[in-house]
A and B are shown apart, each in its own frame.
Chain A
Amino acid sequence: MYLPSRFKPRYILFASLIVALGFFPLKQPLKALFLFLSDKPHFLAKSLYQQKNQNLESENLALKLQIKELEHFAHENQSLRKALKLAEAKGISIQAADIITFSPTNWRRNAFLNKGVNDNVNIGDIAIDENANLLGKIVDAGNETSQIFFADDPEFKSTAFIGEHTFGLLSGNLTGAKLLYVEDGENINSGDTVWMLIPGSQLIIDVGKVRNVQKNDNSLFWDIEVSLFTRKHISKRVFLIQ
């Protein structure tokens, strides 16, 4: 009979080492696996209510965006701006699309979507997730499919803001993103929200939070690292703002 007291310490040490070696590098994948499995019943049932669900999610997202917009402008000149932005926000539409395939290499963050020009998807359309955070940008659109670069892709580039007036070029770097060419970074702190404006409208979407702020003596610009709000692209659905 094997009781814990009769285990030899070296076996316990060896078992602990194996568990530690296996667990620490694979912590994130294991977490994602649990999330994937917990999402599975919904994934299997989606064919039944897919279209209805997509429409509801799009509507929900549009409402979330409007709420965010209202919250942001509450800090500024209230009534006039709010009325103006709401009127402009009515011009946009949100379309749900599903990811068909990802890029097989780990050094890129891009994917193919199942909507294309036939569904009014155009190059430059911004993609957001179900929480209305930035997901990526459409870089190529065919008739039936389109290609998206996620925000952490090394070739993703877009203008983004921190606070009221500070802005820079958001560029992905696999683990998150960086805000490049920021000149006035004195007032930026870790934890500040990074946001962007949708081109052609005045809608605001959140990108992430400032992770680290540094100033190199030999450079004119500040080094700002951003951790993105997106959840490692585990969800296979994106919403395109048109």
Chain B
Amino acid sequence: MNIKIIKVTLLCIILLLFDLIRPLGYSLNSELAILGIFFLAYNLDLNHSLLLAAFLGLCKDSFSLDRFSFSAIEFPLLCILIYNLSSLFIFNRRPSQAMFIKSIIVFFCLLLHAVYSSLLNRVFDFYWSLSFIFQSYLIWFMINYCLKQLVIYEKTRN
């Protein structure tokens, strides 16, 4: 198995574990597992990202204490959405434009996740949802910039 896939898998599992143990309680208004899904959707090919997203969704559903939890379906669907939107808008663009479009796609996916979760749990709070989206967005940027160097790029020394 490719070393990159193992690294991304480990990263996603660590993010899911952080969601479960919550060292900062509920003061951090973000779901790290879904940020891991965005990360793998952008850094792995579609087949691997779908498989991994389904596995992570299944793990999340298993640990979830709720009656209804459909992350095993939601995560692969998000992967397909990111893949399709990216191939539609990012293809053949300059890196700066691609980064901007990538950010918009992540924002859109976070918005979708917030709406879906609000409907599923029958609770809606505008400012709370806004805080969720912005905090998740910032953490995604951090993950994308800080961990990408560690996980994706191999160190090349001659």
Contact = CB atoms under 8 A, between A and B. Distances in A.
Interface residues of B, number: 35
B1 interface: no
Interface residues of A, number: 32
Contacts of A109: 26
A224 to B, nearest CB: 16
A36 interface: yes
Given A25-B135, A25-B138, A101-B20, A107 B120 contact: yes
A109 B34 CA distance: 18
B65 A103 contact: yes
Interface in A23-39: 25-26, 28-29, 31-33, 36
Contacts of A36: 23-24
Nearest to B16: A104
Contacts of B65: 103, 108, 110-112, 147
B136 to A, nearest CB: 9
A123 to B, nearest CB: 14
Contacts of A174: 123, 125, 128
Contacts, number: 93
B60 A234 contact: no
A145 to B, nearest CB: 11
B27 A105 contact: no
Contacts of A101: 20-21, 63
A218 interface: no
Interface of A: 21-22, 25-26, 28-29, 31-33, 36, 101-112, 147, 154, 173-175, 231-235
26 contacts: A21-B138, A25-B131, A25-B134, A25-B138, A28-B27, A29-B27, A33-B24, A101-B21, A102-B19, A102-B20, A102-B21, A103-B64, A104-B60, A104-B64, A105-B64, A105-B66, A106-B30, A106-B31, A108-B65, A110-B66, A154-B123, A173-B123, A175-B125, A175-B128, A232-B26, A234-B25
